[in-house]
């Protein structure tokens, strides 16, 4: 028997390019199609200048950024922790970034940082701080206990949630509805006249995505344990630091745009892993685009559903949580059944 | 044939906490073509020593030379081309196929993305042939027995094409047949593949039977280091493990059996 008779599709550069091209196309098509869906009072026929068009396209672009940032960050977190249940939302990174985003407008008057930039910067600080706390609680001599990891994520989430409630006390009654929608994860509608945040978060997401893609082979090695990875040529401690920073950056980008949207980083990598296998190089490409498409679809569904039941619009975080919660429980039960977590 | 050690540790000291040394002046040399087994009771510092030799712990004093160069100053990638490691318990967090796992051993030889080329596939094939793992190339670790999984880990290490291979109690959870298989494999890697093989072991009898050289470790100090016949002595073994040792020599001249009480 030789290797040639074994039918295993090996990963090639051509395969990576094929998937990247195909899914990029699909993403663009989605932006185009979804922006035409639904009631469109175009007005005097100048569609391209209409608010509806601008509103929807910018919102869809934001959805693409948020979806891919969360999906790729989730996948990287799972690879790094060797735990498919790790996710920015579950581990409290999203709520940490959320505290930062809410503090932004309150603190902006005392800093020289421009208003629009203070929220994402504070989000990054919040996400990094949360990541350090959760990691420090869950690790013993560099080894992570997966149960303690999830538990510390839960606890940090509750803590951050309390901070958010405290901050909300300082919010005007009239703005409350908006803040509550944001707290559930909602794509913004004002990006067409203030798009700097979108470009910044898009750039951060693209950069982080590229870094994680380049570390895909190292993440594969890390799946075999720290020592095996290190002896295969991976600088493990540096990889941890680097990827934690990248994950925090991407989570902050997503949360700055849309608030803490839950479970995207869990569902998307999991579904993609079922489809194309666990190789992190291919998985980075695929889950990024699928995340983008998923979130745009979910948001469009929310928009239509909201119109249909006449409650305005549902926050997209409601749908991701309704889908993600059960998926999380199913995954947990199945892994428990196999005696591993 | 070289007798110059490929891996040379000189006067290693290591302490996890100040004032409590786990290693106190350990020196050893591993030469190409030799299987060296490190023996010692629990807590004697075997694993710590192994981690220092792997470059994962920095000794507080002393140094490790790999192929004539200081291990401390070597990049992980360069180190991986000379030194490979087989863990005690094979693990894989994700359902990776055996072939993909073996190809991870090619990481230090491949480009940034670590994509496998034709040469990498050939090396992987040789490594899997040597370890009898070709037949389950497209299965995952979870579908293999303990012995098969350990063979896969050896194939993965072998794919690095290292000069030195370090194994951490690779047979501690295996049955007798698989123990013999793994020890036989380590012996072939040393004798036929001209590697320096270092194995941390708990089984004195297996080590004495297959190894070329032994090192006895007790509370972070070397009790004895040399050819098997010089180290398998009742007084040295007794001193190491704190037990009474008797040696029985079978009629067929297959080396002494060690009996502890």
Residue ranges covered by each domain of chain A: 51-337
Which residues from chain A sit within 8 angstroms of residue B108, using beta carbons?
232-233
In the listed set B111, B146, B161, which residue is the last one of a domain according to the structure? Answer: B161
Q: What is the mean pLDDT of chain A?
A: 86
Same structural domain, B167 and B247: yes
CB contact under 8 Å between A278 and B95, yes or no, is: yes
Task: Name, of A31-45, A133-147, B68-82, the range with top average pLDDT.
Answer: B68-82
- C-beta atoms of B104 and A83 within 8 A: no
Q: Test B114 with A220 for CB contact under 8 angstroms.
A: yes
Q: For residues A156 and A147, give the distance between their C-alpha atoms in angstroms, rounded to a whole number.
A: 14
How confident is residue B12, by pLDDT bands cut at 50, 70 and 90?
Answer: very high
Distance to chain A for B66, nearest Cα, Å:
14
Q: Which two tokens stand for residue B156?
A: 């993965």
Query: Residue A119: pLDDT band by 50, 70, 90 thresholds?
Result: confident
**A76/A223 Cα distance (integer angstroms):** 11
Task: Count CB atoms within 10 A of the CB of residue B168.
Answer: 21
Number of domains in chain B: 2
Least confident of A141-145, B169-173, B204-208, B210-214: A141-145
- Residues B183 and B245 reside in one and the same domain: yes
pLDDT of residue A339: 45
Instruction: Write down how long chain B is.
Output: 261
Interface of A to B at Cβ within 8 Å reads 1-3, 6-8, 10-13, 16, 79, 82-84, 214, 216-218, 220-221, 223-225, 227-228, 230-235, 273, 277-279, 281
B91: chain A residues, CB-CB within 8 Å: 224-225
User: Do both B183 and B244 map to the same domain?
Assistant: yes
Name which of A82, A222, A233 to mutate to probe chain B: the one with the most chain B Cβ atoms within 10 A of its Cβ: A233
Q: If you average pLDDT over residues A58-77, what whole number do you get?
A: 95
Percentage with pLDDT > 90 across chain B? 74
Retrieve residue A37's tokens: 């869906």
Query: For position A2, what pLDDT does the model report?
Result: 54
pLDDT on residue A142? 66
> What are the tens digits of pLDDT across the range A224-246?
998 999 999 999 989 988 999 99
CA dihedral A139, B64, B73, A212 (to 10 degrees): -40
Question: Looking at residue B169, which CATH number applies to its domain?
Answer: 3.40.50.300
Q: What proportions of chain A, in percent to the nearest 5, are helix, strand and coil?
A: 75, 0, 25
Which of A4, A228, A280 should we substitute to test contact with B (largest number of B Cβ atoms within 10 Å)? Answer: A228
Region A67-74: mean pLDDT is 97
* Contact call for A227 and B85, based on CB within 8 A: yes
CA angle A203, A209, A210 (to 5 degrees): 95
Question: Do B117 and B69 sit in the same domain of this protein?
Answer: no
The model's confidence at residue A182, banded by pLDDT at 50, 70 and 90, is confident
**φ and ψ at B199, to 5 degrees?**
-130, 125
Q: For the beta carbon of residue B132, count every other beta carbon within 10 angstroms.
A: 16
pLDDT of residue A341: 44
Domain end: B161, B176, B201, which one? B161
Residue B172 and residue B255 in one domain: yes
pLDDT for residue A146: 72
Asked if the Cβ–Cβ distance from A12 to B115 is below 8 Å, we say yes
Closest Cα in chain A, distance from residue B158 (Å): 11
Predicted confidence (pLDDT) at residue B1 exceeds the cutoff of 50? no
Q: Fold for A51-337, please state it.
A: ABC transporter involved in vitamin B12 uptake, BtuC (1.10.3470)
Q: Is residue B100 domain-shared with residue B155, that is, in the same domain?
A: yes
Choose the mutation target among B17, B87, B110, B114 for the interface with A, i.e. most A CBs under 10 Å.
Answer: B114
The residue from B129, B146, B161 where one domain ends is: B161
- Strands B196-201 and B164-168 come out as parallel
- Of A224, A232, A273, nearest to B108 by CB-CB distance is A232
Q: ipTM of the assembly?
A: 0.92
CB proximity list for A334: less than 8 A, separation 6 or greater: none
pLDDT of residue A290 exceeding 50 = yes
Over residues A67-71, mean pLDDT: 97
Say if residue B102 is in the same domain as residue B195.
Answer: no
Q: Of B32, B51, B12, B29, which is closest to residue B197 (Cα–Cα)?
A: B32
Mean pLDDT taken over chain B: 91
Q: Which two tokens stand for residue B122?
A: 């050939």
pLDDT at A22 over 50: yes
pLDDT at residue A176, as a whole number: 78
Q: How far is CA A43 from CA A11, A47, A52, A56, in A?
A: 50, 8, 10, 15
Domain that holds residue B153: 90-161
Nearest to A234 among B76, B99, B113 (CB): B76
Q: In this structure, are B206 and B246 located in the same domain?
A: yes
Interface test with A, best of B104, B110, B119, B134 (most A CBs within 10 A): B104
Percentage, residues of chain A above pLDDT 70: 91
What chain B residue is nearest to A2 in terms of C-alpha separation?
B134
- The residue count of chain A comes to 341
Do the chains contact at B91 and A225, CB–CB below 8 Å?
yes
- Token pair for residue B157? 């290490």
Q: Is B160 on the interface with A (CB under 8 A)?
A: yes
Kindly list the distances between the CA atom of residue A331 and the CA atoms of A173, A224, A272, A340, B80, in Å, as whole numbers in the listed order.
40, 21, 14, 11, 35
């Amino acid at each position: 028997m030789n290797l040639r008779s074994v039918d295993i599709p090996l990963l090639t550069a051509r395969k990576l390019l094929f998937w990247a091209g195909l899914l990029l196309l699909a993403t663009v098509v989605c932006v185009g199609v979804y922006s035409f869906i639904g009631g469109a009072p175009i007005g005097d026929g100048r569609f391209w200048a209409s608010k509806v068009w601008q509103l929807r396209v910018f919102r869809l672009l934001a959805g693409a950024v948020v979806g891919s940032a969360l999906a790729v960050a989730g996948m990287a977190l799972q690879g790094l922790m060797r735990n498919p249940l790790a996710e920015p939302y579950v581990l409290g990174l999203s709520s940490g970034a959320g505290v930062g985003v809410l503090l932004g407008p309150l603190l902006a008057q005392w800093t020289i940082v421009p208003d629009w930039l203070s929220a994402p910067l504070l989000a990054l600080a919040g996400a990094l701080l949360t990541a350090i706390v959760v990691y420090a609680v869950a690790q013993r001599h560099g080894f992570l206990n997966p149960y303690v990891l999830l538990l510390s994520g839960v606890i940090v989430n509750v803590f951050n949630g309390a901070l958010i409630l405290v901050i909300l006390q300082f919010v005007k009654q009239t703005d409350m509805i908006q803040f509550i929608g944001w707290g559930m994860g909602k794509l913004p509608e004002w990006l067409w006249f203030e798009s700097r945040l979108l470009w910044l978060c898009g750039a951060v997401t693209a950069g982080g995505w590229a870094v994680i893609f380049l570390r895909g082979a190292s993440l594969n090695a890390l799946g075999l344990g720290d020592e095996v990875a290190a002896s295969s040529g991976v600088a493990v401690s540096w990889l941890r630091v680097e990827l934690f920073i990248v994950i925090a950056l991407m989570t902050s980008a997503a949360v700055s745009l849309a608030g803490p949207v839950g479970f995207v980083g869990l569902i998307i990598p999991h579904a993609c892993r079922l489809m194309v296998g666990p190789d992190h190089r291919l998985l980075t490409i695929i889950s990024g685009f699928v995340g983008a498409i998923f979130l745009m679809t979910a948001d469009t569904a929310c928009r239509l559903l909201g119109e249909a039941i006449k409650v305005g619009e549902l926050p997209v975080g409601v749908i991701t949580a309704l889908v993600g919660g059960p998926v999380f429980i199913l995954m947990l039960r199945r892994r428990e059944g196999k005696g591993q977590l | 044939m070289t007798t110059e050690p490929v891996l040379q540790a000189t006067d290693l000291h290591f302490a996890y906490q100040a004032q409590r040394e786990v290693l106190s002046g350990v020196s050893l040399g591993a030469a190409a073509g030799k299987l060296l087994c490190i023996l010692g009771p629990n807590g004697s510092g075997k694993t710590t020593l192994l981690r220092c030799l792997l470059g994962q712990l920095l000794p507080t004093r002393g140094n490790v030379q790999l192929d004539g160069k200081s291990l401390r100053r070597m990049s992980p990638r360069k180190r991986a081309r000379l030194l490979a490691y087989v863990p005690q318990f094979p693990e894989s967090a994700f359902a990776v196929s055996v072939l993909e796992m073996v190809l991870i051993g090619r990481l230090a030889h491949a480009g940034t993305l670590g994509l496998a080329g034709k040469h990498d596939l050939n090396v992987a094939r040789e490594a899997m042939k040597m370890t009898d793992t070709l037949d389950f190339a497209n299965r995952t670790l979870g579908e293999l027995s303990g012995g098969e999984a350990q063979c896969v880990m050896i194939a993965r290490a072998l794919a690095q094409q290292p000069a030195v291979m370090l194994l951490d109690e690779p047979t501690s959870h295996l049955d007798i047949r698989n123990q013999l298989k793994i020890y036989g494999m380590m012996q072939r890697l040393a004798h036929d593949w001209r590697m320096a093989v270092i194995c941390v072991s708990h089984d004195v009898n297996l080590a004495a039977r297959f190894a070329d050289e032994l090192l006895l470790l007790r509370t972070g100090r070397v009790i004895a280091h040399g050819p098997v016949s010089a180290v398998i002595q009742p007084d040295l073994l007794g001193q190491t493990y704190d037990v009474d040792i008797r040696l029985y020599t079978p009629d067929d001249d297959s080396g002494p059996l060690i009996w502890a009480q």
